């Protein structure tokens, strides 16, 4: 799994490629947590190259979303595959995120296009 | 055909021969005859209907309610009933309470 | 916060994992910071080893013995750090005595599933053939026990206000006609929540959702060639885990979340969830059966054994769980508490519950400790407890199931009496009067009230409602047992033709009989239960024991909904009527007197003559009035309701009891009327011109409601009296 961070128009974008599961979730947590600090109100997590998210992975995303929301921010997910979206909906995880087809649309939503 | 009936009983079996019509004019009499067996152990209640031409509601009731009176565990048989009679039995749903056969042998 | 007791003290032999002694509670596998706490008990094991697998791999990648210092009493417990628990399956090797007569059957070569496993792998996708050679078929997994319930809290709907809808998770949406995205799953049910709301039920009772093996006893059908499966699921592999094969996300191991999401959504929509639980036996069978878990972990504790060490079989399924053994009793309590606390379940229906009242030698107990414990447990304090009050060993306890004021029962007598009455069997009026009132003859003795009775005409066991009016006898040939399986006392009547019919008269009568059945069910005191699919005349083509039919026989055919809109609407309006009128939903039994001073006793009986029912054996007509002022024991003011039931093949006039001058009868339902006129939207009941007498058609049920006359009509009457 690879994690690439970039900024665009003042917004932080994290691109996650590969699988977010028990093997990779610790590493992902280590990389993402620092970015949830006070300076970042909204984060875009680009998952277009992420093929699979396990239970542990979903919980990491949820934890990030909740932490951001206590800071007044929101976690935006972009590029989710149809299958992953479906899984999130079935397991009750869809309520906590805003999802978009791609990074551009996500940025537009937070006014940073 | 003259309307009449004949009731006999032996070996825990009550046999009723029916002839002509079974309706309000003669059902009460038949019921009184059948009530005589109340309290005895009755395994089968067999109605021979080859010569039965017509059965009214009252007649149907006698057949069904006799089971209540003289043999809750008794099996009811209707033997050699004519098509018109069978049709009435079916329409009233009473075929569910009895075994319908062409003939009867011990 | 740093905890001193989460510091590793040992390393396992292969060097991969650090260990320390664990905590005995909770039993099972629990995630702790940095690791997993494993805890398993056995009264007679001499040693235990933990086997760790990567998901789906045939052999363990690591086996860790529980050291002597990792044992507290009879509990083996340790924390294993550094595990990837998302990808993990685990099991236990247990060693101990083998002595059949003594009931000891330890086998140290077997890998055993954790009895407290909260998630189980091995049957991740329904019907997907497993590797039969694998030594460890049903595998314990770690389950995330966190879930965001948002504001979900138990509805605590009073049991008498419930309208229970019994359904099978897979069968409910598996048929392609269901149109859901993930047929046969928890998510599938979720897609049908709007339908359930439209129907108006406020409670679903799910047939067993704990992990079971659908391949148990699987064999090809001699008549169709299709595989017969363990479809209903009355056979437990694991008590604490939802069936993976019932979840669309089961292949990802997310069945717990998917199940909880379903429950959360049902609750949001005002629908409670009751689980059918099977504590009477396990899937291990008798001594010839497989080692899944309990036999290898603690055979003597878990099972009722004969003095020779064989398995008692009060369940009819090979073994009997030793429910009143204190250890098993605690496991059952832990299990139910877990489902209530973690899954927010609202109630339980106990399969073959009479087994729960047998002692360690199989003898029925007067005051079974397990049932008493459940009745008084604080976590279960607001749960519905429903017993199927019989077992396969001859114990039949309907009416005398030990209750402590908490337990309700599936009232098998209600089912039988109502079916007999419906088909026109004479001599049923006395029994019907009892059933309609919530069966005081069975339940009043111990002050149990109408809430003790769960009334039903159909359930998964037996005919569907459509088949009950279409078949005189069962047709289970497809089950492969020469039609010898399944009950024979169906008390059904085919309305003149056996099976599918094109005769419009027969079909019209069948629809009417189904309406009669549901009308009587929903005006009875007690808690009604409806079988899923009856509202659209679902058929199993006469199979009254479809436990093994994983196909169109059992799957609900949703195309029937449009074909049977008339029947569905009847169900919907009857349910709405019951929900609207508290007079139909008393907690206690009637007192048969007028304690509110309304002029009517709480319940009065009528027949063709008002105030005078004909109770004789020849009579097939009965009517009753529920006085609205006496609703819920006089605490609620409701409309009065009059119900006339004519099960004769001829029509009869029913004289109506007179209401006070300012009230009138209006018509809510008449099953003899044509479609569109047979039942009205509650609140839109139609005027009745003739307030003296109602001509009730053959085999029909009429429901009238008492309401205040329009004000001007009363005034004008007063004027004319001057």
Supply the ipTM of this predicted assembly. Answer: 0.86
Given the residues C205, C388, C467, C648, the one annotated as active site: C388
Distance CA C25, CA C40 (A): 9
Q: Residue C248: list chain A partners with CB under 8 A.
A: 86, 90
Instruction: Please give the model's pTM, rounded to 2 decimal places.
Output: 0.91
Over range C447-476, report the average pLDDT: 94
Chain centroid to CA C70: 41
Is B11 contained in some domain? yes
CB contact under 8 A, A22 and C146: no
Q: Which of B67, B72, B93 sits opposite C423 (nearest CB)?
A: B93
Put simply, the answer to whether C493 touches B96 (Cβ < 8 Å) is yes
Number of H helices, E strands in chain B: 3, 5
Which residue, C536, C566, C583, sits at the end of a domain? C583
Q: For residue range C642-670, what is the model confidence (pLDDT) as tens digits?
A: 999 999 999 999 999 999 999 999 999 99
Residue A95 DSSP code: G
- The reply to whether residue C86 touches residue A56, judged by beta carbons under 8 angstroms, is yes
What pLDDT, on the 0 to 100 scale, is given for residue C89?
A: 96
Task: Find the chain B residues whose C-beta atoms sit closer than 8 A to any C-beta of C.
Answer: 57, 60-61, 64-65, 67-69, 72, 90-97
pLDDT-derived band at A38 (thresholds 50, 70, 90) equals low
Percent of chain C with pLDDT over 90: 81
Q: Region C621-642: what's the mean pLDDT?
A: 96
Residue B75: φ, ψ to 5°: -95, 135
Q: Is C424 exposed, middle or buried (0-12, 13-18, 19+ CB in 10 A)?
A: buried
Q: Of A11-15, C168-172, C465-469, where does mean pLDDT reach its minimum?
A: A11-15
Q: Is the dihedral of CA C159, C163, C167, C172 positive or negative?
A: negative
The pLDDT-based confidence of B97 (bands split at 50, 70, 90) is: confident
* pLDDT tens sequence across C216-231: 989 988 888 889 999 9
Task: Identify the pLDDT of residue C714.
Answer: 53
Using CA atoms, how far apart are residues C224 and C428, in angstroms rounded to an integer?
41
Residue C153 falls inside a structural domain: no
Note whether residue B106 is domain-resident: no
Dihedral Cα C676, C470, C501, C621, nearest 10 deg: -50
Residue from C398, C340, C400, C370 nearest C280 by CA = C370
Same domain assignment for residues C449 and C594: no
Å between B93 CA and nearest CA of chain C: 6
Question: Chain C within 8 Å of A63 (Cβ-Cβ)?
Answer: no
**Same domain (yes/no): C80, C184:** no
**Distance between CA C511 and CA C560 in Å, rounded?**
13
B71, B86, B96, B97, best to mutate vs chain C, most C CBs in 10 Å: B96
C577 and C448 within one domain? yes
Test A22 with C148 for CB contact under 8 angstroms. no
Q: Does a structural domain hold residue B31? A: yes
Q: What is the pLDDT of residues A40-84, one digit of tens each?
A: 677 899 999 999 999 999 999 998 988 888 888 888 999 999 999
Q: For B65, which DSSP code?
A: H
- pLDDT tens per residue across span C321-371: 998 889 999 999 999 999 999 999 999 999 988 888 888 777 888 888 888
Contact C460, C206 (CB under 8 A): no
Residue C362: domain span: 159-583
d(CA C627, CA C606): 13
Rounded mean pLDDT, C386-414: 83
Which residue from C minimizes the CA distance to B95? C496
* pLDDT over 90 (residue A98): no
Q: Which of C343, C336, C356, C208 is nearest to C283 (CA)?
A: C208
Closest CA to C324 of C352, C361, C275, C286: C361
Count of domains forming chain A: 1
Number of structural domains, chain C?
A: 3
Q: Do C148 and A62 touch (CB under 8 A)?
A: yes
Pair (C572, C599) in one structural domain: no
State the CATH number of the domain containing residue B77: 3.30.750.24
Does residue A21 sit at the C interface (CB-CB below 8 Å)?
Answer: yes
Task: Report the alpha-carbon distance of residue C298 to residue C293 in Å, rounded.
Answer: 9
| Reduced 3-state DSSP string for C296-340 | HHHHHHHECECCCCCECCCCCCCCCECCCCHHHHHHHHHHHHHHH
Nearest to C86 among A22, A93, A96 (CB): A22
Single out the catalytic residue among C258, C272, C351, C467. C351
Q: Is C593 left (phi over 0), alpha (psi -120 to 50) or beta?
A: beta
By C-alpha distance, the chain C residue nearest A24 is: C84
| Chain C neighbors of B74, CB-CB under 8 A | none
Q: Do C252 and A62 make contact, defined as CB atoms within 8 angstroms?
A: no
What ranges make up the beta strands (E) of C525-680? 527-531, 603-606, 621-626, 641-646, 652-655, 663-670
DSSP character for B7?
A: E
Residue C718 has pLDDT above 50, yes or no: no
A100: pLDDT confidence band, cut at 50, 70 and 90? very high
CB contact under 8 A, C649 and B91: yes
Containing structural domain, residue B38: 4-101
Query: Considering chain C, what is the average pLDDT of its residues?
Result: 93
Q: Can you say whether the dihedral through the CA atoms of C400, C401, C407, C413 is positive or negative?
A: negative
- Spatial distance between the Cα atoms of C480 and C588, rounded to a whole number of angstroms: 46
Q: How far is A100 from chain C (nearest CA, A)?
A: 21
Q: What is the DSSP letter of C710?
A: P
Residue found under tokens 């073959």: C352
d(CA C701, CA C518): 10
Q: Which residues contact C720 (CB under 8 A, 6 or more apart)?
A: none
Asked if A86 has any chain C CB less than 8 Å from its own CB, the reply is: yes
- How does residue A39 score in pLDDT terms, banded at 50, 70 and 90? low
Is some CB atom of chain C closer than 8 A to the CB atom of A27? no
* Residue A12 burial class via C-beta count within 10 angstroms: exposed 0-12, middle 13-18, buried 19 and up: middle
CATH of the domain at A20: 3.30.750.24
Name the pLDDT band for C721 (thresholds 50, 70, 90): very low
Q: How far apart are CA C19 and CA C15, in angstroms?
A: 10
- C264/A92 CB distance under 8 A: yes
Cβ within 8 Å, pair C86-A91: no
Q: What is the 3-state secondary structure (H, E, C) of C57-93?
A: CCCCCEEEECCHHHEECCEEEEEEECCCHHHEEEEEE
pLDDT, tens digit, 9 for 90 and up, residues B6-51: 988 888 888 999 999 998 888 888 888 888 887 788 888 899 999 9
Task: Note the residue count of chain A.
Answer: 113
Contacts of C150 in chain A (CB under 8 A): 95
Of C86, C182, C258, the CB nearest to A91: C258
C84/A23 CB distance under 8 A: yes
Q: Given an 8 Å threshold on Cβ–Cβ distance, is A56 in contact with C144?
A: yes
CATH number at residue C40: 2.60.40.10
Rounded CA-CA distance C365/C256 in Å is 36
Give pLDDT tens digits for C164-215: 999 999 999 999 999 999 999 999 999 999 999 999 999 999 999 999 999 9
Q: How many CB pairs under 8 A join B and C?
A: 35
Q: Do chains B and C touch (3 or more CB pairs under 8 A)?
A: yes
pLDDT band for C720, please (50, 70, 90 cuts).
very low
Q: Which residues of chain B are within 8 Å of residue C496 when distances are taken between CB atoms? A: 90-91, 93, 95
Q: Does the residue C370 lie in any domain? A: yes
CATH number, domain containing residue C295: 3.20.20.80
Task: Count structural domains, chain B.
Answer: 1
Which residue, among C249, C251, C269, C268, has the nearest Cα to C259 in the 3D structure?
C249
Nearest CA in chain C to A90: C258
Q: Do C650 and B68 touch (CB under 8 A)?
A: no
Is C351 catalytic? The answer is yes
Same domain flag for C688 and C661: yes
Q: What angle in degrees, to the nearest 10, is found between the helix axes of A25-32 and A55-70? A: 10
- The Cβ of residue C681 has, within 10 Å, a number of other Cβ atoms equal to 12
A51 is in which domain, residue-wise?
2-109
Q: Looking at residue C692, which CATH number applies to its domain?
A: 2.60.40.1180
Among candidates C424, C426, C618 on the partner chain, residue whose Cβ is nearest the Cβ of B93: C424
Is it the case that chain A and chain B have 3 or more CB pairs lying under 8 Å apart? Answer: no
- C258-268 pLDDT, tens digit per residue, is 999 999 999 99
Closest Cα of chain C to B40: distance in Å?
18
Rounded to the nearest 5°, which phi and psi values hold at C585?
A: -130, 55
Ranges A89-93, C363-367, C526-530, most confident: C526-530
Which of A25, A59, A90 is closest, CB to CB, to C249? Answer: A90
Distance CA C22, CA C37 (A): 6
Inform me whether the pLDDT recorded for B2 exceeds 90.
no
Facing residue for C258 by CB, picked from A22, A23, A90: A90
Q: Do chains C and A touch (3 or more CB pairs under 8 A)?
A: yes
Q: Are C589 and C450 a contacting pair, CB within 8 Å?
A: yes
Q: Is residue C147 part of a domain?
A: no
Q: What subunits make at least 3 CB pairs under 8 angstroms with C?
A: A, B
Predicted local confidence at residue C448, as pLDDT = 84
Residues of B in contact with C617 (CB under 8 A): 65, 68-69
């Amino acid at each position: 799994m690879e994690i690439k961070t970039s900024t665009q128009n003042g917004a932080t974008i994290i691109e996650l490629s590969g699988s977010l599961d028990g093997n990779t979730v610790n590493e992902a947590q280590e990389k993402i947590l620092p970015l949830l600090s006070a300076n970042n109100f909204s984060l875009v997590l680009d998952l277009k190259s992420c093929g699979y998210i396990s239970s542990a992975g979903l919980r990491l995303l949820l934890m990030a979303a909740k932490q951001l929301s206590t800071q007044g921010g929101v976690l935006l997910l972009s590029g989710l595959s149809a299958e992953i979206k479906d899984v999130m909906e079935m397991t009750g995880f869809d309520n906590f995120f805003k999802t978009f087809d791609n990074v551009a649309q996500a940025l537009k939503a937070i006014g940073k296009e | 055909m003259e309307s009449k009936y004949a009731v006999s009983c032996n070996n825990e079996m009550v046999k009723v021969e029916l002839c002509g019509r079974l309706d309000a004019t003669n059902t009460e009499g038949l019921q009184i005859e059948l009530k005589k067996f109340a309290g005895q152990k009755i395994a089968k209640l067999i109605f021979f209907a080859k010569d039965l031409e017509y059965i009214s509601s009252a007649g149907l009731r006698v057949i069904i309610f006799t089971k209540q009176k003289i043999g809750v565990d008794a099996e009811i048989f209707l033997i050699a009933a004519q098509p018109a009679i069978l049709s009435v039995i079916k329409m009233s749903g009473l075929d569910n309470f009895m075994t319908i056969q062409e003939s009867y042998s011990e | 916060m740093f905890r001193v007791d989460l510091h590793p003290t040992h390393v396992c032999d292969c060097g991969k994992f650090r260990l320390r002694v664990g905590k005995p509670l909770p039993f099972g596998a629990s995630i702790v910071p940095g690791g997993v706490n494993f805890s398993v008990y056995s009264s007679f094991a001499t040693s235990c080893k933990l086997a760790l697998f990567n998901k789906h791999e045939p052999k363990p990648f690591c086996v860790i013995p529980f050291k002597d210092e990792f044992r507290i009493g009879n509990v083996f417990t340790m924390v294993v750090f550094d595990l990837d628990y998302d990808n993990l399956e685990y099991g236990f090797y247990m060693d101990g005595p083998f002595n059949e007569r003594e009931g000891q059957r330890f086998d140290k070569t077997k890998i055993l599933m954790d009895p407290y496993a909260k998630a189980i792998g091995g049957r991740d996708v329904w019907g997907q053939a497993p590797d039969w050679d694998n030594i460890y078929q049903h595998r314990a997994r770690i389950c995330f026990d966190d879930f965001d319930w948002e504001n979900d809290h138990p509805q605590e709907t009073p049991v008498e206000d419930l309208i229970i809808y019994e359904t099978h998770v897979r069968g409910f949406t598996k048929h392609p006609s269901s149109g859901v995205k993930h047929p046969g799953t928890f998510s599938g049910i979720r897609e049908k929540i709007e339908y359930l709301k439209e129907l108006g039920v406020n409670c679903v009772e799910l047939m067993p959702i704990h992990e079971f093996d659908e391949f148990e006893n699987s064999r090809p059908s001699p008549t169709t060639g299709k595989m017969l499966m363990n479809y209903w699921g009355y056979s437990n592999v694991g008590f604490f885990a939802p069936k993976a094969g019932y979840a669309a996300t089961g292949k990802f191991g997310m069945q717990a979340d998917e199940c909880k999401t379903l429950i959360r959504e049902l609750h949001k929509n005002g629908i409670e969830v009751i689980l059918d639980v099977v504590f009477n036996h396990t899937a291990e069978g008798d001594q010839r059966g497989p080692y899944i878990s309990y036999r290898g972990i603690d055979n003597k504790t878990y099972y009722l054994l004969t003095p020779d060490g064989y398995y008692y079989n009060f369940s009819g399924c090979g073994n009997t769980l030793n429910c009143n053994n204190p250890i098993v009793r605690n496991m059952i309590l832990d299990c139910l508490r877990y489902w209530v606390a973690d899954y927010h379940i609202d109630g339980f229906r106990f399969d073959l519950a009479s087994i729960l009242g047998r002692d360690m030698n199989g003898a029925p107990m007067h005051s079974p400790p397990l049932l008493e414990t459940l009745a008084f447990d604080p976590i279960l304090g607001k749960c519905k407890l429903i017993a199927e009050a019989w077992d396969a060993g001859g114990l039949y306890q309907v009416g005398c199931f030990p209750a402590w004021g908490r337990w309700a029962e599936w009232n098998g007598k209600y089912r039988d009496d109502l079916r007999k009455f419906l088909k026109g069997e004479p001599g049923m009026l006395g029994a019907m009067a009892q059933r309609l009132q919530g069966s005081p003859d069975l339940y009043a003795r111990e002050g149990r009230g109408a809430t003790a009775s769960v009334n039903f005409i159909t359930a998964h066991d037996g005919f569907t409602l459509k088949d009950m009016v279409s078949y005189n006898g069962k047709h289970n040939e497809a089950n492969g047992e020469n039609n010898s399986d399944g009950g024979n006392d169906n008390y059904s009547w085919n309305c003149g033709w056996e099976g599918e019919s094109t005769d419009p008269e027969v079909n019209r009568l069948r629809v009417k009989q189904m309406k009669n059945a549901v009308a009587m069910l929903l005006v009875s005191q007690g808690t009604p239960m409806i079988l899923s699919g009856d509202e659209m005349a679902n058929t199993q083509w006469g199979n009254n024991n479809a436990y093994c039919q994983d196909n169109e026989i059992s799957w609900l055919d949703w195309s029937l909904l449009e074909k049977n809109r008339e029947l569905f609407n009847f169900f919907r309006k009857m349910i709405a009527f019951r929900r609207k009128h508290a007079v139909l939903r008393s907690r206690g039994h009637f007192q048969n007197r007028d304690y509110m001073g309304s002029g009517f006793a709480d319940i009065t009986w009528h027949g063709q003559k008002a105030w005078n029912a004909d109770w004789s054996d020849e009579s097939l007509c009965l009517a009753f009035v529920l006085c609205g002022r006496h609703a819920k024991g006089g605490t609620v003011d409701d409309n009065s309701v009059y119900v006339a039931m004519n099960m004769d093949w001829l029509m009869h006039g029913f004289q109506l009891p007179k209401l006070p001058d300012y009230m009138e009868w209006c018509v809510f339902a008449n099953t003899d009327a044509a479609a569109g006129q047979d039942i009205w939207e509650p609140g839109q009941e139609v005027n009745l011109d003739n307030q003296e007498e109602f001509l009730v058609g053959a085999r029909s049920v009429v429901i009238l409601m008492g309401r205040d006359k329009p004000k001007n009509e009363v005034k004008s009457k007063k004027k004319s009296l001057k």
